[in-house]
C-alpha cells in the first residue's frame, strides 16, 4: 500500500456512539474528545494493538512528551 493511500477521517458516529463519547467526556473531564476512524484500506491491514497497563502507561508518556496522540497498531 502506498503511504498516500492511508488516511484518517473524523468518525461517522451513530447516535448511540455519540452518547458514549459524551458520557466519556463527562467522566474524563476534557473539553472535547475527537474520534477518528481509518479508511477501508487501513482497516484491512491493521488493527488496534491489545496493550497491557504497562504498555498503555508507556504510550501515554510518549503522547505527553510529543504533545500528540499516538495509537498502537499491529498488522493483521
Instruction: Kindly tell me if the per-residue pLDDT of 42 is higher than 80.
Output: no
pLDDT digits (tens, 9 = 90+) for 11-39: 999 999 999 999 999 999 989 898 988 77
Taking the alpha carbons at both ends of the chain, their separation in whole angstroms is 14
Cα dihedral 51, 47, 62, 2 in deg (nearest 10): 160
Distance CA 19, CA 13 (A): 9
- Compute the average pLDDT of residues 42-62: 89
Instruction: Kindly tell me if the per-residue pLDDT of 1 is higher than 50.
Output: no
Q: Is the pTM of this model over 0.75?
A: no
Half-sphere exposure of 63 (CA within 13 A, CB side): 10
Instruction: Kindly tell me if the per-residue pLDDT of 4 is higher than 60.
Output: no
| Per-domain boundaries in the chain | 3-75
1 contacts 41 by C-beta, under 8 angstroms: yes
Amino acid at each position: 500500500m502506498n503511504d498516500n493511500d492511508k488516511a484518517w477521517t473524523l468518525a461517522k458516529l451513530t447516535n448511540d456512539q455519540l452518547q458514549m463519547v459524551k458520557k466519556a467526556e463527562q467522566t474524563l473531564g476534557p473539553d472535547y474528545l475527537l474520534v477518528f476512524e481509518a479508511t477501508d484500506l487501513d482497516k484491512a491491514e491493521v488493527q488496534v494493538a491489545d496493550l497491557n497497563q504497562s504498555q498503555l502507561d508507556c504510550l501515554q508518556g510518549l503522547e505527553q512528551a510529543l504533545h500528540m496522540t499516538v495509537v498502537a497498531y499491529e498488522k493483521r
